[in-house]
Amino acid sequence: LQQPAEEVMVSTDENLDQLREKYAQFAGSVNGEENITVLETDLIRIELTNKGGHIKTVELKGYQTYDSLPLILLEPESSRFGLTFFSKNRLINTEDLYFSPSTSETNLTVSGDNTMSFSMRLYTDLPDGEKNLNSYIEYLYTITCNNYLFDLTINLEGLDGVMSSNNNYMGLNWFADLRKQELVQDQWNGSTIYYKYLSDDVEYMSETEDDDEQISTKLKWVSFKQRFFSSAIIAKDAFDNGKLTVIEKKDHGNDRYLKTMSAEFELPIQLQGTTSIPLSFYFGPNKFYTLKAYDLDLERQIPIGWGFFLLAWINEYIVIPTFNWLGGYGWNYGIVILMLTLLLKLILFP
């Protein structure tokens, strides 16, 4: 009766050895059961998965698609996020590994003026296979109510000797298929990647063709922009060596997605002691004053004639406030645009 148990134990040990060959001190986090934690405010609903510790789904409240469905910016089938680095000469991708959540609660809500923090930790292994609670990668999410922007701080603790000693950087990879939110689509609908240099202007990639760029200059943020909504990742310091890609979806048998967008960066790290990498995400509407309030030049994703001072001034201080004022009456955008056009004609051609 004992022999089968011994055989199972040997098989398990052999399996662990095989995992260590591939995943080094992260072998204990390869197998697990996926669990979802929901973070919710009055504006946004976020699902986090313990597999990879990252954002799985983002839903904007108060908005719907053209066919009256919930407005989803990210979804599990079409988005990825992970860190890559070398450990014992093995390439590790955190997206493949199971993190440990800071609480067993699966639904967390923040309201009023409150702020909520929630973390996922990827622990390394002790020699006996147990988790080393003093050695981990942590994703610390901090969310404030009534805000489309929230923080993600990546903390590295006790990883000296776990990551390769010559690692001065770790990779960050973000990928998403952008869902179609409108009934009528055209290639000039403004869907592309916008990015801001650390100490310079905002640039954007092609809106009508596939495009890719390798950027050696430091970046402040990168945004996966659609006509009315954006998904942006923002560095408190900077991203290094960005590789950005936009690919138009050409599979006419699947009209669910518009474009594929990806961003790859390098994050500078220190393996001695604790390293903290503060980032932020913005998932929300492309409303001029909402974006401008963050003082990050995110509003420059909205084409109001930035290259011409007078045109930009007129749009920012006359056209946009008037548009918002008319929108306050509860009219749909078609009527608002018609009324705005009539008002401008009356002013310009009395």
In this predicted model, what pLDDT tens digit does every residue of 171-196 receive, in sequence order? 999 999 988 776 555 554 578 999 99
How much is the pLDDT for 15? 81
pLDDT at 144 exceeding the cut of 60: yes
pLDDT at 204 exceeding the cut of 60: yes
Burial class (CB within 10 angstroms; exposed 0-12, middle 13-18, buried 19+) of 317:
exposed
pTM of the complete model: 0.84
Crossing angle between the packed helical segments 333-348 and 320-327, to the nearest 10 degrees: 130
Is 51 inside any structural domain?
yes
Question: HSE (CB half, 13 Å, CA atoms) of 187?
Answer: 10
Domain-ending residue, one of 253, 287, 321 = 287
pLDDT at 227 exceeding the cut of 50: yes
Instruction: Record the tokens describing residue 168, joined without a space.
Output: 């001065």
Q: Do 102 and 225 share a domain, yes or no?
A: yes
Q: Based on C-alpha coordinates, what's the Rg of the chain? A: 23
Q: Do 327 and 256 share a domain, yes or no?
A: no
Instruction: Record the tokens describing residue 179, joined without a space.
Output: 């869902």
Query: For the segment 286-335, what is each residue's pLDDT rounded down to a tens digit?
Result: 998 999 999 999 999 987 555 555 666 666 666 667 666 766 666 666 67
Q: Do 244 and 171 share a domain, yes or no?
A: yes
State the amino acid at position 178 in one-letter form.
Answer: L
- Per the structure, how many domains does the chain have? 2
CATH code of the domain in which 166 resides: 2.70.98.90
Is 297 inside any structural domain?
no
Question: HSE (CB half, 13 Å, CA atoms) of 183?
Answer: 3
Q: Do 204 and 337 share a domain, yes or no?
A: no
Q: Do 56 and 128 share a domain, yes or no?
A: yes
d(Cα 81, Cα 47) in Å, to the nearest integer?
Answer: 13
How much is the pLDDT for 7? 39
CB neighbour list of residue 22: distance below 8 Å, 6 or more residues apart: 90
Whole-number average pLDDT of the chain: 86
d(Cα 245, Cα 248) in Å, to the nearest integer?
Answer: 10
> Region 163-174: what's the mean pLDDT?
89
Q: Do 243 and 342 share a domain, yes or no?
A: no
How much is the pLDDT for 46? 97
How much is the pLDDT for 164? 79
Is 302 inside any structural domain?
no
More confident residue, 321 or 170: 170
Q: Do 85 and 168 share a domain, yes or no?
A: yes
Q: Do 261 and 313 share a domain, yes or no?
A: no
How much is the pLDDT for 1? 40
What Cα–Cα distance (Å) separates residue 343 from each residue in 225, 283, 330?
Answer: 30, 33, 18
How much is the pLDDT for 10? 37
pLDDT at 343 exceeding the cut of 80: no
Range of the domain at 81: 3-287
Q: Do 171 and 316 share a domain, yes or no?
A: no
Is 71 inside any structural domain?
yes
Q: Do 217 and 269 share a domain, yes or no?
A: yes
In the numeric block, the tokens 């909520």 are attached to 116
Is 304 inside any structural domain?
no
d(Cα 346, Cα 95) in Å, to the nearest integer?
Answer: 57
- pLDDT range class, residue 85, cuts 50, 70, 90: very high
- pLDDT range class, residue 4, cuts 50, 70, 90: very low
In the numeric block, the tokens 């006996």 are attached to 128
Out of 175-179, 193-197, 231-235, 339-343, least confident range: 339-343
Instruction: List alpha helices for the chain, DSSP H.
Output: 3-23, 288-292, 309-314, 320-327, 333-348
pLDDT at 345 exceeding the cut of 80: no
SS3 for 87-108 is ECCEEEEHHHCECEECCCCCEE
What Cα–Cα distance (Å) separates residue 89 from each residue in 8, 161, 162, 264, 278?
Answer: 30, 12, 10, 21, 27
Q: Do 105 and 157 share a domain, yes or no?
A: yes
Is 301 inside any structural domain?
no
How much is the pLDDT for 333? 61
Domain-ending residue, one of 254, 287, 320 = 287
Is 217 inside any structural domain?
yes
Is 90 inside any structural domain?
yes
Q: Do 223 and 314 share a domain, yes or no?
A: no
